[in-house]
Structure 1
Amino acid sequence: MRVLVVDDEPPARRRLTALLGHHPDVTVAGSCGTADEAVRAIAASRPDAVFLDVAMPGADGFAVLDELADPPAVVFVTAHTGYATRAFDVAAVDYLVKPYHRERLAMALDRLRVHLRHRRPAVGRIAVGTGGRTRLLDPEEVDYLRADGNYVRVYVGTASYPVRATLTGLLSTLDRNAFLRVHRSLAVRLDRVRDVQTLRHGELALRLRDGAVLISGRAYRDEVRRALGLPL
């Protein structure tokens, strides 16, 4: 599993990175010391999990999760015990209180492994209602997805179909190598993108093969460029 280490204290980052290095199936994708750095690093490297400090200067660890449309699995690592209830309210996989031992970290990693095995449902077709019937769309048919209140509109050429779901939830059932979130309310099938234009304020205009144009969010710019093989 690929993990990111977030802690405002450099010695703590180094110690945790060293301890994680004793687990052959764990790769530390990076480390950072502030909430802003963490948001950017998670968007750029898309780790499977993040070991996240709670109390940091400026925004705290919970603010990091608030900024992410599709956060990775989280293990909070903190010297404070008072945040445990809130941590599990945001579906943290585990909560490590410093100073912890190697054995306790190993337990957290075991919980992460189990969580990651069960997190992503099997990729399947998308059931959409069409005039009293249910049509089963293969993911290969879909051009893009747009959040629309309590629904997601699934676009196939000029047609669109509402599905009662969240964009995050629907994306979790699809191949993450085929679909990419480009905005808080938009995801596109990557092989549909035909050309890309950089706009004045840093957004990207993605023109699809059927002529539709999607505007990415600035926060997603680097991730979109990386996914499409464009220079950063």
Structure 2
Amino acid sequence: MSYHVLIVDDEPPARKLLSDYVSKMANLVLAGVCKNGEEALGFLKENQVDILLLDIRMPLMTGMDLLNELEEKPLTIFVTAYEEYAVKGYELDVIDYLMKPVSFERFTKAIEKATEYLSAQVTTEETSEKPDYFFIKTDTRIVKFLFSEIQAIEAQREYVKFITPSRKVMSLVSLTGIANALPGEFVRIHRSFIINMRHIDEVQANEVLIGKELYPISRNYREDFFRKLDGMKLL
């Protein structure tokens, strides 16, 4: 299977290097190359892209600004010379973060991570019967969860915490990747939180109470949350 890649970087040498790397990988197709965020925004409105190779510091519109403008975001790999943006990148749920100058070996690992995720998405969509459980890899173990037992999922820098009534488990995964694989009773209420609506005890103004924990509802996710909540009301 081939994956379409868009490169967005204001530096010509970086665009050339990434284009060369893409051409060396049989499963990648170079969909386009843009020199700034505004150009990329226009391109993405007209073209389907699977993987976005995105610089952060650019004139007119930064890479982060671009992602915030997009309703449907391609799977994104940040490519930048500035290490201080790593944490912010994970908050935006990018799949990987590459430091310039990028070696081909490190580029390959990032692409493999992205294509494995995209392939898993396709497999999940094609499966008619979905199991009621899933497995998460931690640093030392592989842990099984029932979807029904998960109360909330919290992003903590580059890690994600899975919260149940009896345990909390950390895993090095993307919150966006997890969100796309969850069944319908889960809803994102904040860039750092996904909750299971089956476990809600109360909704208090801009917070959700589950057990003894309060989870914030952010402005960006408020409308979607309350729309789902309205659909579950009896009266």
Q: TM-score, normalised by structure 1?
A: 0.54
The correspondence for 1:65, drawn from 64, 67, 73, is 67
Counterpart for residue 92 of structure 2: 90
Q: Aligned runs of 1:207-218 on 2, under 5 Å?
A: none
Structure 1 residue 122 and structure 2 residue 197: aligned?
A: no
Deviations 1:182-225 (A, max 9, x none): xxxxxxxxxxxxxxxxxxxxxxxxxxxxxxxxxxxxxxxxxxxx
For residue 151 of structure 1, report the CA deviation from its aligned partner: 5.5
Q: 1:85 to 1:148 in 2, by over 3 A?
A: closer
Counterpart for residue 177 of structure 1: none
Counterpart for residue 41 of structure 1: 43
Q: Aligned runs of 1:73-222 on 2, under 5 Å?
A: 73-119=75-121, 121-122=124-125, 149-150=224-225, 162=231
For residue 150 of structure 1, report the CA deviation from its aligned partner: 2.5
The correspondence for 1:56, drawn from 55, 58, 72, is 58
**Structure with greater helix percent:** 2
For residue 82 of structure 1, report the CA deviation from its aligned partner: 0.7
Query: Once the two structures are aligned, what percentage of the paired residues are identical?
Result: 30
Give the paired residue count.
Answer: 139
Instruction: Give the letter for the 1:4 counterpart.
Output: L
Work out the CA distance in 2 between the residues paired with 1:162 and 1:107.
42
Q: Secondary structure of 2:125's match?
A: coil
For residue 30 of structure 1, report the CA deviation from its aligned partner: 0.2
For residue 96 of structure 1, report the CA deviation from its aligned partner: 0.6
Structure 1 residues without counterparts, runs of 5 or longer: 128-146, 154-160, 165-232
Is this contact kept in 2: 1:152–1:163, CA < 8 A? no
Q: Aligned runs of 1:7-26 on 2, under 5 Å?
A: 7-26=9-28
Work out the CA distance in 1 between the residues paired with 2:227 and 2:19.
39
Work out the CA distance in 2 between the residues paired with 1:19 and 1:106.
8
Deviations 1:37-72 (A, max 9, x none): 111112211200100000001221011110011101
For residue 148 of structure 1, report the CA deviation from its aligned partner: 5.8
Root-mean-square deviation (Å): 2.8
Work out the CA distance in 2 between the residues paired with 1:11 and 1:43.
26
Instruction: Give the letter for the 2:65 counterpart.
Output: A
Work out the CA distance in 2 between the residues paired with 1:8 and 1:163.
47
